[in-house]
Amino acid sequence: MDVSSIITSLNDDQRLAVSAPMQAMLVLAGAGSGKTRVLVHRIAWHIQVNHISPYNILAVTFTNKAANEMRNRIEELLETPARAMWIGTFHGLAHRLLRQHAKQAKLPDTFQVMDSDDQLRIIKRLMKNLNLDDSKWPPKQAQWFINAQKDEGIRAKHMHDNGDFYNRQMKDIYLAYEDVCQRSGLVDFAELLLRAHELLRDNEDLLAFYRQRFQQVHVDEFQDTNTIQYAWLRLLTEGNNNLFVVGDDDQSIYGWRGAKIENIFNFQKHYPEHGIVRLEQNYRSTGHILKAANTLIANNDNRMGKELWTAAGEGQAISLYSAFNEQDEAYFVVEKIRQWVRDGGLRSETAILYRSNAQSRQFEERLMTTATPYRVYGGLRFFERMEIKNALAYLRLSTNPHDDPSFERVVNTPTRGIGAKTLDDMRILAREQQLSLWQAALAMLESNQLPARASNALRGFLNLIIALGETTKELSLHETVKQVVETSGLIELYKKEKQDKGEARVENLEELVNAARLFDYDSENAENLGELDMFLAHAALEAGEMQGEVDEDCVQLMTLHSAKGLEFKLVFLVGLEEGLFPSQQALDDAGRLQEERRLCYVGITRAMQQLYLTHAESRRLYGKDSYPRASRFLRELPPESIQEIRLRANVSRPTTNSASQSKGLGSKGTYKLGQPVRHEKFGEGVVLQMEGEGEQERVQINFRNAGIKWLMLAYAKLDAA
């Protein structure tokens, strides 16, 4: 049989994987090694060579986009429709299975699938019925708990609280939630997988049918499977030894959302008669980039092991830039991108990758300042994020309580027990008497028309806003923002969210304080507006600047987690500092540290031609000044593949300038980055950077209360702090 159309375009290792015997197979596919091609050609090989009907093939992916791409490529390769195959995501295939066997799954034929918001609404309602105070028992925390139990295959009746009050309460919520969903014929996303697993496990005839039907089962991104997904796969393939999985243990970066890297190791134990093929030839990156990735990831323990290589040559060395601070970092990155565009490159070929969403703000501001179109991939721009909008709403109300949109946004955020009926009555009164919502609320309280609980809750909110306005009158801008985000309860609200999303929201609120500290208040053009009002206007204008369209030539900004599966000719991996990347939480946890290193590996292997790594010698992040050490990941890279753009060192200046011999720090002649200083007007600060010589010598200082200032050293009269 002529199989040239299937294997001619493949390299030796890809051919080995595609034409392997019909047995359990683990394909360790390195970044950029053509894993999707191998999956597609393996399916084609089964159909054309092993004469397996498309009806007998199952292929599982993690996104609808990947499933559609796989289906289209199979149809193109075989020149025949792929409708008979089951190709889809875990959730999509589980839903299909439950629709076809709803009765056996103990579901009504008309069962409905809920999204995350609908699920949260139900949990909020039943927690209210259980008389639980949502300030002590946040509904989002209960939602996270329920979904986590389902991902582990655990029903509420199987939970053991072990005498723990928290677990006992969560079990009660879980039991009540299951009862509501069963009575209402509702299924959440986690339930799709758990119910599909139980359907097959508890119906022997049905399981036997699907085991016979799916003669070959294929899985993409196997390292990202969780407990229930792997259990479902094992159930389908047990005894048949027909599971073909493609994955990369070095790219397992979703442990925080339930992915089990252990699955890729346990595969060998659960399928002892298996084969392994390593795809190590990379078609994306240059030799220097791959050498850096290989050397970095070798520091992790318990790897399956592989060494990426390319036939495309060494390419340019990786550039390492040590910035003075986060502003200098953003300036450097954006200027390099602008140079790339001037040299004929596209903005869409470039990406800025960061560990934390809060880091995006500095780059967004610099990109807007230079009128460079950009797009935040997989997320919102800084001033469009929910927690930032909530904080800004509190700030607006503190200066203008008659701001109706802001009033509506936060009157019950965090939850205070102000119900929908109270708000509806307030809106009606405001509309009928042409009042602001604030005035309507005061009128309702004065008329004693509200129940005691609602009245107390509403009065508490109004008093909070009044207090915010009074206590922040004499504070600086950044102190005002700090006071508002803390006193409003927003920080505590998001701290209660156990997933990384809550942590990211807190980081963004702390970064808002930093944005206020660095805000450049132009009093001459303020048009009688105070600093806070100007800052709020600035935030509104930035949020109003729409992102570039999907098809527009834009710089791409994204977290490292969002970057997986993507590639760019020019990549900036920023913020490589201890406590930021790797994250602070990972520094004392060996398992998390290894996942952070895998995340760095993923970031490095996104680059095709040029890779820049940056870190800052001083950084104000989450509202705090720090002078972090460079990330350990930088020290783990091969020196021969790294080119430093600027050395990290103390900055020495000549003392020949007579003016600089005057009183104060200028007489010392040698200055260090990070050196504490004191100024008569601006108070205490820290040296960030210096430039120029003689009378033109300038020093940039981050003052504790006045923010960042450039001063002429000859006239600054600085003293050591």
Residue 490's identity, in one-letter code, is L
Ranges 412-416, 435-439, 597-601, 655-659: which has the least confidence: 655-659
Percentage of the chain beyond pLDDT 90 is 56
Q: Are strands 274-279 and 216-219 parallel, antiparallel or unpaired?
A: unpaired
Which amino acid type is present at position 73? R
Q: Is 35 annotated as a binding residue?
A: yes
What does the chain come to in residues? 721
C-alpha span between 260 and 590 (Å, rounded): 16
* DSSP string covering 95-156: HHHHHHTTTTTT--TT-EE--HHHHHHHHHHHHHHTT--TTTS-HHHHHHHHHHHHHTT--G
Please give the C-alpha separations between residue 276 and each of 199, 216, 235, 236, 528, in angstroms, as whole numbers.
31, 17, 21, 21, 71
pLDDT at 661: 34
CA distance 525 to 227: 59
Query: Cβ(513)–Cβ(623) under 8 Å?
Result: yes
> Which pLDDT does position 217 carry in this prediction?
97
What lies within 8 Å, CB to CB, of 490 at 6+ separation is 387, 390, 391, 394, 413, 414, 509
Find all residues with CB under 8 Å of 271, minimum gap 6, and list them.
24, 241, 243
Predicted confidence band of residue 668 (pLDDT cuts 50, 70, 90): very low
Convert the pLDDT of each residue in 508-542 to its tens digit. 898 898 888 878 766 555 555 678 887 887 777 66
Flag whether pLDDT at 109 surpasses 90.
Answer: no
User: Which residues are catalytically annotated?
Assistant: 35-36, 220-221, 251, 606
Those residues whose C-beta lies under 8 Å from the C-beta of residue 379, and which sit 6 or more positions away, are: 357, 360, 385, 558, 559, 562
Please tell me the distance from the alpha carbon of residue 44 to that of residue 231, in angstroms, as a whole number: 27
Residue-wise pLDDT tens digits, 116-161: 888 888 998 899 888 888 778 889 899 999 999 999 999 999 998 8
pLDDT, one tens digit per residue, over 649-664 is: 443 333 333 333 333 4
Query: Of 6-10, 496-500, 502-506, 602-606, which one has max mean pLDDT?
Result: 602-606
DSSP symbol at 607? E
Residue-wise pLDDT tens digits, 336-361: 999 999 999 999 999 999 999 889 98
Q: Of 93, 105, 114, 125, whose CA–CA distance to 188 is shortest?
A: 114
- Whether 30 has a binding-site annotation, put simply, is yes
Secondary structure class of 417 (helix, strand, coil): coil
User: Which residues, including other chains, have CB under 8 Å from residue 136's CB and lie 6 or more apart?
Assistant: none
Read off the pLDDT of residues 10-69 as tens digits, 9 standing for 90 and up.
999 999 999 999 999 999 999 999 999 999 999 999 999 999 999 999 999 988 888 889
User: Please, what is the average pLDDT of the chain?
Assistant: 87
Range 212-233 average pLDDT:
96
Residue 177 and residue 123 in contact, taking contact as beta carbons nearer than 8 Å? yes
With bands split at pLDDT 50, 70 and 90, how would you rate the model's confidence at 669? very low
**What single DSSP character describes residue 457?**
H
- Binding site annotation covers 716? no
Q: Is the dihedral of CA 178, 182, 184, 189 positive or negative?
A: positive
Higher pLDDT, 174 or 709: 174
- Give the model's pLDDT for residue 647: 44
Does 32 count as an annotated binding residue? yes
88 annotated binding-site participant: no
Burial class of residue 661 (count of CB atoms within 10 Å of its CB; 0-12, 13-18, 19+): middle
Q: Comparing 286-290, 428-432, 631-635, which segment has the lowest mean pLDDT?
A: 428-432
H or E element, residue 268: helix 262-270
The residue written with tokens 């997933």 in the block is 499
Report the C-alpha gap between 169 and 514 in whole angstroms.
39
Name the amino acid, one letter, at 363. Answer: F
Query: Is 36 annotated as belonging to a binding site?
Result: yes
* 368-400 pLDDT, tens digit each: 889 899 999 877 778 888 899 999 999 989 988
| Phi-psi map region of 521: left, alpha, beta (phi>0 left; psi -120 to 50 alpha) | beta
- Nearest to 87, CA basis, from 177, 217, 202: 217
Averaged pLDDT, 587-601: 94
Residue 44 Cα to chain centre, angstroms: 36
Q: Does an H or E element contain 293, and which?
A: helix 287-297
